[in-house]
Structure formats: structure tokens, C-alpha cells
């Protein structure tokens, strides 16, 4: 069973994906971390995010730990959204994500293009959204709780810029798969969002089984 969770920055897709993975006993991959790791690598060797060549060179992730707290910073997120527009960068990260999605027993992946590009065959696709103001408040609370500086106005501007870049790029833009279930969490706290996601996923799985075994 493969579950794809896509959505814009700070929509809650990561937390929801982790909860679905726990609920269904599946491994989970946060694919945004891969793009963030390329961004941090590029930043550390002083590369230019405007250069596709340098960004592609930064795709060798052997010297980056996916537990590095710096991966979560807004500057790294912002560089990640720039370098993720390069087709060569996306291509370099493709196998790792597809292999994860294709492992025996299944998996949960979250990102921007899981339901459309990485795992178009996924059994359940969720597209998680929330208004930009709500997402910015969540992101500020999250950054402050990690001891990182954050200002609401700056985060709103950054999220809007990131949404625009992620949605307008030519290769694998952020877009809802035609068969995705839309989940707007603007009015939900995280517990309500998780239980809504679990209910929707279970219903989609039941409906698929019913379709395979009509009475």
C-alpha cells in the first residue's frame, strides 16, 4: 500500500504523513528533506542557487545528515524551493524516492509531486492545504519552538514566494492529482487534521476494495 501526501509549505502534510505511517505500520519518507539537503550542501560549499550546474553537483548527499537541524531553517527551505525547479536536480533525486515508494509492503511519502510524479499509482492520495496566514502562524510557532528566529510578516512573504515558485515551475509543479482527496486544515488543530486524514484514507481504501469486489 502506498500513500501519497502532497501540499504547500507548513500545511501539516509532514505531521499527517508520519501519523498515517504509524497508523498503517508503514515506513515514511519526508521528500522535502532531500531537497533541503541539496540546498544545505550547496550553501555550505558556497555554491550559487542560480546555477543549475552547481545545484546538480550538490546532489551528492554523502556529507549531509538528514537529522541536521539546519535543514529546517527558513533560508534552507527557500534555497530548496529555488533549486527544486531544476529538472536535473529532480532527476537526481528520483530513484531514491521511487525505490522507497516501491519497497515491498508499501510506504507513505510526503512532498509536492508524490501523487503526480513519484507514485502516480498510489492507493491513497491526500492533498493537504490551509490558508497562507494559518500556515505562517504554524511555521512561526514551529521555528520559535526549535529556538530559531521567526517573524510573522517575513514568513508570510516567504511562504507566498515559495508557493508561487513551487506551483509555477515547469517540471513537477505543486499541483493536486486528479484523484487526490482534498483536505483543508485551516480550521483544524493537528489532532483533528490527523484523525480526518486517517478517516479519509480508510474510506478510500474501503471504496477501492468494494470496487474490486462488487456484490
> Which residue is at the shortest CB distance from ligand CDP?
32
Comparison of 49 and 77: residue with beta carbon closer to ligand CDP: 77
Q: Which of 204, 200, 201 is nearest to 24 (CA)?
A: 201
- Residue 181 in 3-state DSSP? strand
Burial class (CB in 10 A: 0-12, 13-18, 19+), 124: buried
The response to whether 14 counts as a known ligand-binding position is yes
Q: How far apart are CA 41 and CA 113, in angstroms?
A: 22
The contact pattern for ligand CDP, residues 179-198, with x = CB under 6 A and - = no contact, is: ------x--xxx--x-----
Cβ(20)–Cβ(108) under 8 Å?
yes
Q: How far apart are CA 52 and CA 174, in angstroms?
A: 20
Q: Looking at 59, 122, 126, 166, which residue binds ligand CDP (CB under 6 A)? A: 166
Q: What sign does the dihedral 210-211-212-215 (CA atoms) show? A: positive
Window 60-99: residues binding ligand CDP (CB under 6 A): 77, 80-81, 84
Pick the piece of the chain touching ligand CDP (CB under 6 A) from 3-11, 20-28, 40-48, 198-206: 3-11
The footprint of ligand CDP on residues 99-158 (CB under 6 A) is: 111-113, 138, 142
Binding mask 6-25 for ligand CDP (x = CB under 6 A): -x-xxxxxxx----------
Give the annotated binding-site residues for ATP. Answer: 7-15
Give the annotated binding-site residues. Answer: 7-15
Give residues in contact with ligand CDP (CB under 6 A).
Answer: 7, 9-15, 31-32, 35-36, 77, 80-81, 84, 111-113, 138, 142, 162, 166, 185, 188-190, 193
Amino acid at each position: 500500500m502506498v500513500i501519497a501526501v502532497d501540499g504547500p509549505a507548513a500545511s501539516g502534510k509532514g505531521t499527517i504523513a508520519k501519523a498515517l505511517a504509524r497508523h498503517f505500520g508503514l515506513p515514511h519518507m519526508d521528500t522535502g528533506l532531500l531537497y533541503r539537503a541539496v540546498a544545505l550542501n550547496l550553501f555550505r560549499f558556497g555554491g550559487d542557487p542560480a546555477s543549475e550546474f552547481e545545484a546538480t553537483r550538490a546532489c551528492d548527499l554523502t556529507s549531509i545528515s538528514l537529522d541536521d537541524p539546519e535543514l529546517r531553517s527558513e533560508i534552507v527551505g527557500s534555497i530548496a524551493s529555488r533549486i527544486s525547479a531544476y529538472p536535473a536536480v529532480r532527476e537526481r533525486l528520483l530513484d531514491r524516492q521511487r525505490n522507497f515508494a516501491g519497497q515491498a509492503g508499501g510506504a507513505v511519502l510526503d512532498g509536492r509531486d508524490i501523487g503526480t510524479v513519484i507514485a502516480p499509482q498510489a492507493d491513497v492520495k491526500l492533498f493537504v492545504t490551509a490558508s497562507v496566514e494559518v500556515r505562517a502562524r504554524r511555521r512561526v510557532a514551529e521555528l520559535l519552538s526549535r529556538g530559531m528566529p521567526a517573524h510573522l510578516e517575513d514568513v508570510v512573504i516567504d511562504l507566498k514566494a515559495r508557493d508561487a515558485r513551487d506551483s509555477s515551475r515547469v517540471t513537477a509543479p505543486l499541483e493536486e492529482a486528479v484523484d487526490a482527496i482534498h483536505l483543508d486544515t485551516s480550521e483544524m488543530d493537528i489532532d483533528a487534521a490527523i484523525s480526518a486524514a486517517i478517516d479519509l484514507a480508510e474510506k478510500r481504501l474501503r471504496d477501492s476494495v468494494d470496487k474490486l469486489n462488487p456484490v
